[in-house]
Amino acid sequence: MKVVKRVRELQDFGDAERRAGRRLALVPTMGALHEGHAALVAEARRRADRVVVSIFVNPTQFDDPRDLAAYPRVLAEDLALCERAGVDVVFAPEVEDLYPDGAQTGVEVGEIAKPLCGRSRPGHFRGVATVVTKLLCAAKPHVAVFGEKDWQQLAVIRRLVRDLRLDVEIAGVPTVRERDGLAMSSRNRRLDPEARRQALVLSRSLDAAASAARAGERDAARLLEGVRREIAKSPRAEIDYAELRDPDSLAPVPARLEAPALLALAVFLRPPQGADGPGVRLIDNCVLPVQPRSEEPPR
């Protein structure tokens, strides 16, 4: 496995591999890798001859400097996981490699980036869209692989690629979960034991809503009220948002659901009483199994 630090070196690698007729895959990450990332690498290996993993904590997508400072950085562990997963190249640049001195250019995606995390984290998706564009230009992949846990991020990137007519396929991989249901996330490292236990409220509330939808519940307000009741059972959990959205456009859904709907959650796990800090913000989602009205079974 090769570790590359410079954009030009990665571009040269991509050019050489393309000339040789080999297919390239990119897995963009911010490090603190876990088995969810290993699943992304496995999908990339399935789709390509060579796999590049980028490890870069992107400063422009953080709206809170404390969150950026607290983000885990464990490069040696990350490289070991990449080696085990069969990665060919790790791209681990410094900030100045992707954001040269005096950089003035950013990439802005419109409506699809405004709700959910876009509303509660101003500028976040501008940072995401900018760094992903830079990584695609550096790695020159045929396909880039992202996790569906970050559903809105995946939707924003697909919109970006479609709008700019970029010659790359974007692939999504279903959320990988711990045995108890918690979605794997680099932020889980920051949870204290009690917060880790209470964080299960996210997956429980998703499961409860999916069960209600399978049982025939179609009222969006009642579904969301059930989610809020479930989350309220965890004393340290504070809802940032709990919303139902169209899975593709992220537009609001009607009051009565008539098709599958994305249930998207963002929840803060507050620090223990007397402790300092903003807590840990976790996101999760599922697509509720709502059948179109014509396909609903008779009651």
Instruction: Please list the active-site residues.
Output: 37
Q: Which of 12, 20, 17, 81 is nearest to 53 (CA)?
A: 81
Report CA 10 to chain centroid distance, whole Å. Answer: 24
Cα–Cα distance between 231 and 124 in angstroms, integer?
A: 25
Cα–Cα distance between 53 and 25 in angstroms, integer?
A: 8
Cα–Cα distance between 68 and 59 in angstroms, integer?
A: 7
Q: How many CB atoms lie within 10 A of CB 251?
A: 10
Cα–Cα distance between 145 and 163 in angstroms, integer?
A: 18
Cα–Cα distance between 195 and 269 in angstroms, integer?
A: 6
